[in-house]
Chains A and B, each alone.
Chain A
Amino acid sequence: MKYKLGTMAVAGLMAASPVMADLVFPSLSYRTGPYAAGGIPFADGYADYFTLLNERDGGIGGVAARVLECETGYNTEKGVECYESTKGEGALVYQPLSTGITYQLIPKATADDIPIHSMGYGRTSAANGDVFSHVFNYPANYWNGASAAINHILEQNGGDISGKKIALVYHNSAYGKEPIRTLEKLSEKHGFELSLLAVDHPGQEQKSQWLQIRREKPDNVIMYGWGVMNQVAVQEAANIRFPMENFIGIWWSGAEIDVTPAGDKANGFKALALTAVGDDFPLYEDLQKYVVDTGKAAGAGDQLGTVPYNRGIYAAMLAAEAVKVAQKMHGVDDITSGQMRDGMEALVITEDVMAANGLPGFGPSFSVSCENHGGEGMVAVTQWDASAGEFVTISDFAPTDMSVIQPLIDEDSAAFKAENNIASNCN
């Protein structure tokens, strides 16, 4: 009871703080725990981009952006706590960077009229905007990723992979299970043999899975891993001398930090990518000038140019663009979360838009509509060059097999719609 009263007093003071005219972007980050390796650079990139906009342009459309960081540790309970404590501050869009937390927030945020942008994660069928009015997963989702990996393997094998053995090493959670159904459909279509190897949270223990891979000798391995699981998997693959060029990770399994521990043995490891790699973009000069040199960089400021950092930059850029669209649509600068949702639904990212933001060719061009919250699902492939210590794009943004993915999206979202009695969002 004493503690209850204490916290009550604390939150009373919190609630009393005044509401300022700013654009609030909550960042449900995780800088601690087994997934921090990916969480830190993403959160840094997300925060740094908004810092840059504030410092260089005075905010978005003249209104300052405020990033509200809340530590979740990739834990859903803390995610709920973070959501509840930040939503009252006028949060515009949530990017939880966790599939578990996204699942949690989908109904809550929809009821509260706050959009969620689960960029390349979360519930894949949320791409159907007719059912999931407040959830967006552009530019690509897990099923695009699975299809892109298979497309790449097809390309390697001259278009015929019938009879090949492909193993999926996945994080045993909602995240890792997402691609299974797509891969099963694709295996029917292309005639390859799929084997599934689950790795339990947090993923440090993978000996038995890789022993099985050594025994079964699959031609290719696809990995849906995150955090410490990636590093262990790459190391294990190197230990059993699995040919790295046949090992392909989703975009969450392809950061510098995932491959460097294995050293030269990781050379040739492939990963899908949502954005371009490296820091060779005009935006980075501004970042250096306005954010890093002035000491305003988030975190330790040592993550610039890494893959997850670029993804954080990209997520922030898409959010800022959606704000601009919303400001234009509704004719107000200090937009609400509902207006932000409209802006995200009308978002069109072209090469010109990216170039204007100092990021030419950074991501695919795509457009969002009421029915399609997932964009066109274009995915690139990168490969690790251990001697140079960097990922190199080996295949540019290419379309994925929507003839397989779209029916799955329709089926899963229709089931959700029926289960929860949701009215159509469009028309």
Chain B
Amino acid sequence: MLYREAGDFSTTYSEDSQTFPIKFDRWRYYAVLFVAIFVIPFMINDYWVNSIFMPFLIYAIAAIGLNILVGYCGQVSLGTGGFMAVGAYACYKLMTAFPEVSMFIHVLLAGGITAAVGVLFGLPSLRIKGFYLAVATLAAQFFLVWLFNRVSWFYNYSASGQINAPERDTFGILITGPNTEAWATYMFCLIFTIFSAVVARNLTRGSVGRQWMAIRDMDIAAEIIGVNPLKAKLTAFAVSSFFVGISGALFFAVYLGAVEVGEAFGITKSFLVLFMIIIGGLGSIFGSFAGAAFLVLLPVLLKVIGVDWLGWPTDIVAHLNLVIVGGLIVVFLIAEPHGLAQLWRVAKEKLRLWPFPH
């Protein structure tokens, strides 16, 4: 009954090829956007922003970025943490060098710098693939973290090697630093998340995305039908790193405010984002959101239930958290290898026929 396309006619090509061709789906999408933009900012406080929405939005951007590379172009990458670090440190250097420039510009430029670095580390993908490429990107991860730890120019020669986000604004509204308003940081991240999702969605639907997918499905066949692997792979690395860089910049400047590269952008971060897209669904923008939500919100939820409701000791809850999240990952991978996005697709199919499945 829901998601029914009966009576939903397209009279132009653009109507037919839009992102949400089914009317109900489109309205649902508008409703989510409406709530996210016009309802949530008026309701949230510091706790909601800093513990739930901001990590969710920022990880969603990182997951979208990695999904382009891994899910759409088939190039396995374990360098996400390192690329996020590039975004964070680029943002820090820009923020401290040009304090009067708007944060929007800084974050976008940080994404651009990360894209350039990503292309550089994407060059080996032209020669190696699969597990070997994963190892090459792993090298990027370790090299970048080592670089930011080692070269003190990147952290402005501070004694501790930490980078701290000074107070910066955009259009006169504080975005970084301790005196920000909850809604401002939320909206700032939300704008970037929506921007990333829309751009990624449209890229993957167009000719560029088709080239990526052709490379993913079989690179030799793709080359024979005229896809330039150099261009396809490097654009995937560039676009992916651009988003990952944006997420790294937001992660440092808006969310945490102070970052230490080994701790915040270590190999665990790369795995976390990779798990997000595997659980969420490879090759799906919705999957990136679902995976980020799953891995960011579930631990918070379990903590709230275990510690605040049931009053269990914190260490037991922390251990249970690992067990439950780990167990759920295994269950999901066995029951639905295509991730939460596939579950969502199946649910939509079911809802379309409901309540008369035959």
Contacts and interface: CB of A to CB of B under 8 A. Distances in A.
Interface of A: 1, 3-4, 6-7, 10-11, 14, 29, 31-32, 36, 40, 69-71, 73, 75-77, 80-81, 84-85, 87-88, 99-100, 103-104, 106-108, 110-112, 123, 172-175, 177-178, 180-181, 198, 200-201, 299, 412, 419-421
A84 B47 contact: yes
Contacts of A111: 178-179
Contacts of B161: 173-174, 177
A71 B301 contact: no
Interface of B is mostly: helix
Given A7-B297, A70-B314, A174-B161, A76 B256 contact: yes
Contacts of B263: 75-76, 100, 173, 201
A107 B255 CA distance: 13
A103 B47 contact: no
A7 B309 CA distance: 13
A174 B256 contact: no
A110 B178 contact: yes
Given A3-B293, A7-B297, A172-B262, A81 B51 contact: yes
Given A84-B46, A173-B260, A412-B159, A7 B315 contact: no
A103 B178 contact: no
Contact of B262 (A32, A173, A412): A173
Contact of B47 (A29, A85, A173): A85
B300 interface: yes
Contact of A174 (B160, B304, B307): B160
13 contacts: A14-B308, A31-B315, A32-B315, A32-B318, A69-B307, A71-B307, A76-B259, A77-B256, A80-B50, A88-B47, A103-B160, A107-B257, A200-B262
B160 A178 contact: yes
B55 A77 contact: yes
Contact of B51 (A85, A110, A175, A420): A85
Contact of A71 (B52, B259, B298, B318): B318
B32 interface: yes
B127 interface: no
A329 B266 CA distance: 46
B142 to A, nearest CB: 10
Given A10-B301, A178-B160, A100 B179 contact: no
Interface residues on B, range: 35 or more
B294 interface: yes
Interface of A is mostly: helix
B160 A1 contact: no
Interface string B193-217: 0000000000000000000000000
B317 interface: yes
Interface string B291-316: 00110011011011101110001110
A81 B307 CA distance: 14
Interface in B265-299: 266, 293-294, 297-298
B314 A71 contact: yes
A71 B315 contact: yes
Nearest to A174: B160
B318 A174 contact: no
B256 A80 contact: yes
Contacts of A11: 47-48, 52, 304
A88 B46 CA distance: 10
Contacts of B315: 31-32, 36, 40, 71, 299
A43 B13 CA distance: 64
Contacts of B257: 104, 107-108
Contacts of B303: 71
A76 B264 contact: yes
Contacts of A177: 159-161
Contact of B178 (A36, A108, A175): A108
Contacts of B304: 7, 10-11, 14
A84 B182 CA distance: 12
Contacts of A71: 303, 307, 314-315, 317-318
Contacts of A1: 32, 293
A80 B159 contact: no
Interface string B164-192: 10110000000001110000000000000
B180 to A, nearest CB: 9
Nearest to A408: B159
Nearest to B50: A84
Contacts of B259: 76
A107 B256 contact: no
A420 B166 contact: yes
B293 A4 contact: yes
Which of B162, B293, B314, B318 has the most chain A CB atoms closer than 10 A to its own CB?
B314
B319 interface: yes
Contact of A178 (B159, B178, B258): B159
B149 interface: yes
A4 B48 CA distance: 11
Nearest first, the 5 closest Cβ-Cβ pairs linking A and B are A31-B315, A107-B178, A111-B178, A174-B160, A71-B314
Given A84-B47, A107-B177, A111-B179, A7 B318 contact: no
A131 B88 CA distance: 26
Given A88-B47, A177-B161, A201 B166 contact: no
Nearest to B47: A84
Given A100-B263, A103-B160, A172-B262, A6 B314 contact: no
Contacts of B256: 76-77, 80, 104
A198 B149 CA distance: 10
Nearest to A32: B318
Contacts of A4: 52, 56, 293, 297
Contacts of B52: 4, 7, 11
Given A6-B297, A81-B50, A107-B177, 9 more contacts: A3-B293, A6-B301, A84-B46, A85-B47, A103-B164, A108-B178, A172-B149, A172-B262, A177-B160
A296 to B, nearest CB: 13
Contact of B160 (A7, A29, A123, A420): A123
Contacts of A87: 46
Which of B161, B167, B262, B315 has the most chain A CB atoms closer than 10 A to its own CB?
B315
Contacts of B319: 32
B55 A3 contact: no
Contact of B300 (A7, A201, A299, A412): A7
A80 B50 CA distance: 7
Contact of A3 (B298, B308, B309, B314): B298
Contacts of A100: 162, 258, 260, 263
A75 B256 CA distance: 12
Contacts of A175: 160
Contacts of B308: 14
B314 A31 contact: yes
Contacts of B46: 84, 87
Contacts of A85: 47, 51
A197 to B, nearest CB: 14
A201 B262 contact: yes
